[in-house]
């Protein structure tokens, strides 16, 4: 199958950027399955298959025209990952599927919408005709250890959506060493929180992390804090932590209960319950966390699920005379 994927940014982003890492992982998985993959992304991107850079065409409609003019003539399917779903409603000779990665595009018009959780599909206007595929990681890139160190970890954007304020509050309530890692997307919030961080000897802000630094932080953390304040589409960092054998204390918002379905005790009703939880040990085996990820959230499982959707959409397209 000849598959064209369209990413809104450079892939994979070195630090955070779940959408971009998912597109990268999917391209690798599809190529591993033997498909011919073309990925449109910002120059400098890496992916499975052939990367076609679209330079700095920041207007999505320019990107759309560029893709239509340059994609292979024998393309079987277009897979749109852009926030605005720039191919979502188009009547083309080639079928299009559109993955909804963000909440602001949850109800965007699309002929073949795919969500990254069943929760978000069920909350959308497409619940009766859409699909869902869980995000997947390359589990071999995540090192497992049972030898945890005595610190809590918050790993995510510094903004109100990701709940960094409650992570700091957990540190204050427990007195436990807490590492805050992530890019300061909300500069005003960051400036507001910085004095609390600097005045507390137990809290350390290490900025945005990636590569080996991110790996070490996830691997050795006693708990990952995930006090999200938004309706999560998925929550990739929870899966990354569990792959390392690191338990997750999380608020049950959006798809979080779905992703953590095997570990309901990880869910916390408020900041006080989260603080109490992380002062103790998890009741689950740490090896059980990694096994859970290996059975549900891998590149191979994600790519296989998408390939099945491609087949389904292509069959319907042919039946309808496409």
Q: How many CB atoms lie within 10 A of CB 103?
A: 15
pLDDT digit string, tens, across residues 24-44: 999 999 999 999 999 999 888
Give the whole-angstrom CA distance, residue 114 versus residue 121: 8
Task: Tell me what percent of the residues of the chain surpass a pLDDT of 90.
Answer: 82
Please state whether the peptide bond connecting residue 12 to the residue before it is cis, i.e. omega within 30 degrees of 0: yes
Domain assignments of the chain as residue spans, ordered by start: 2-136+298-319, 140-296
Q: What is the pLDDT of residues 220-259, one digit of tens each?
A: 999 999 999 999 999 999 999 999 999 999 999 999 999 9
Could you say which architecture CATH assigns to the domain 140-296? Answer: 3-Layer(aba) Sandwich (3.40)
Per CATH, 2-136+298-319 and 140-296 having the same topology is answered yes
* CB environment 3-42: b (16+ within 10 A), e (fewer): bbbbbbbbbbbebbbbbbbbbbbbbbbbbeeebbbbbbbb
- The yes-or-no verdict on residue 116 having pLDDT over 90 is yes
CA distances (Å), origin 299, targets 3, 21, 146, 305, 314:
16, 11, 24, 10, 22
Predicted TM-score (pTM) of this structure: 0.94
Query: Top-level CATH class of 2-136+298-319?
Result: alpha beta
Closest CA to 223 of 184, 197, 203, 250: 250
* Higher-scoring residue by pLDDT: 162, 91: 162
Please write the tens of the pLDDT for every residue from 122-139. 999 999 999 999 999 999
For residue 322, what pLDDT is reported? 56
Residue 55's pLDDT band (boundaries 50, 70, 90)? confident
């Amino acid at each position: 199958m000849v598959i064209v994927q369209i990413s809104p940014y450079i892939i994979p982003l070195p630090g955070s950027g779940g959408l971009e890492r998912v597109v990268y992982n999917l391209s690798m998985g599809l190529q591993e399955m033997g498909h011919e993959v073309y990925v449109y992304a910002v120059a400098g991107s890496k992916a499975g298959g052939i990367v076609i850079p679209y330079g700095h065409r920041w207007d999505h409609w320019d990107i759309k025209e560029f893709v239509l003019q340059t994609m292979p003539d024998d393309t079987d399917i277009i897979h749109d990952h852009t926030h605005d779903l720039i191919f979502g409603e188009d009547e083309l000779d080639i079928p299009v599927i559109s993955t909804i990665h963000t909440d602001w595009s949850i109800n965007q018009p699309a002929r073949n919408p795919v969500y990254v959780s069943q929760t978000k599909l069920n909350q959308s206007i497409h619940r009766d005709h859409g699909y869902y595929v869980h995000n997947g990681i390359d589990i071999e890139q995540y090192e497992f250890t049972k030898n945890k160190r005595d610190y809590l970890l918050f790993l995510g954007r510094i903004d109100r959506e990701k709940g960094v304020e409650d992570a700091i509050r957990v540190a204050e309530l427990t007195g436990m060493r807490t590492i805050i890692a992530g890019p300061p997307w909300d500069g005003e919030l960051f400036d507001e929180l910085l004095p609390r961080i600097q005045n507390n000897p137990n809290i350390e802000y290490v900025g945005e992390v990636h590569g080996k630094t991110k790996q070490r932080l996830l691997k050795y953390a006693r708990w990952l804090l995930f006090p999200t304040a938004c309706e999560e589409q998925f929550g990739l960092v929870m899966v990354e932590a569990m792959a390392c054998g690191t338990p997750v204390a999380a608020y049950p918002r959006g798809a979080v209960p779905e992703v953590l379905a095997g570990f309901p005790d990880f869910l916390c009703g408020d900041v006080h319950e989260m603080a109490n939880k992380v002062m103790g040990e998890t009741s689950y085996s740490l090896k059980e966390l990694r096994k859970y990820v290996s059975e549900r959230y891998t590149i191979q499982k994600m790519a296989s699920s998408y390939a099945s959707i491609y087949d389904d959409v292509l069959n319907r397209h042919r039946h309808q005379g496409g």
